[in-house]
Chain A
């Protein structure tokens, strides 16, 4: 059974710092991995999707990497801003129809 873990559960950093969020999964047989952002009381917004054949994806200040063999993905945020404060979730598609989510990392950027 696929399990997705995100550590730490919460992270606070000062504005301007570069930071890395971690995601690990137990079964390397995945279709893809997605990173989502969730603002408080809102739904999820897809940030980046990495197919199983890819190693990384970039969008603006965000860069996501995937290492299937070790069961790990990282989300790198450059030059963090207070507006980046949110909960970040990773999700793994491990079958044709099922996507398994991690419990998220709550990020707070201090001005």
Chain B
């Protein structure tokens, strides 16, 4: 059972470069989200989606874009990477608004130099 799959696991970027973090789930979940985890700050919500074609901003959306063209995929785009975006990124999904259990991917560790 694949669950939530994130790629890549590690990435190093130079300031100003762009990249896309991939997230895919095979559980037919409606809700998907992206978090970043920084030391001492817990997980902070970047963007989320309640279904294909619907996205919204979380706590820390600046510098990130998302789209949800299919139920399975929810990529996170960094348009112009900055050192402040150095973090561990997690994708999570849950079945619906009424089914609360969150399933997490294994994370992407991103360093921006």
Residues of chain A having any CB pair with chain B under 8 Å: 4, 9, 31-32, 34, 36, 41-46, 49, 89, 91, 93, 96-104
Docked-complex contact A103 and B41, CB < 8 angstroms: yes
Contacts of A9 in B (CB 8 A): 40
Residue of A9, A34, A91, A103 most packed against chain B (CB within 10 A): A103
Docked-complex contact A44 and B104, CB < 8 angstroms: yes
Docked-complex contact A44 and B102, CB < 8 angstroms: yes
Instruction: Kindly report which residue of chain A lies nearest to residue B49, judged by CB atoms.
Output: A97
**CB of B56 closer than 8 Å to a CB of A:** yes
Q: B26-60, CB under 8 A of A: which get 1 and which 0?
A: 00000100010000111111001010000010110
Docked-complex contact B56 and A97, CB < 8 angstroms: yes
Instruction: Kindly report which residue of chain B lies nearest to residue A49, judged by CB atoms.
Output: B100
**Given the contacts A43-B104, A43-B105, A43-B106, A99 and B45 also touching, CB distance less than 8 Å:** yes
Residues of chain B having any CB pair with chain A under 8 Å: 4, 31, 35, 40-45, 48, 50, 56, 58-59, 90, 92, 97, 100-107
Docked-complex contact A42 and B107, CB < 8 angstroms: yes
> A93–B99 Cα gap in the complex (Å)?
12
User: Helix, strand, loop or mixed for chain A's interface?
Assistant: strand
Docked-complex contact A42 and B42, CB < 8 angstroms: no
> A34–B92 Cα gap in the complex (Å)?
14
Contacts of A101 in B (CB 8 A): 35, 42-44
Q: A44-B90, A44-B102, A101-B42 are in contact. List 13 more A-B contacts (CB 8 A).
A: A34-B101, A34-B102, A42-B106, A42-B107, A43-B90, A43-B106, A43-B107, A44-B104, A45-B104, A46-B101, A96-B97, A97-B48, A97-B97
Residue of B58, B90, B102 most packed against chain A (CB within 10 A): B102
Q: Report A65 CB to chain B, min CB distance, Å.
A: 18
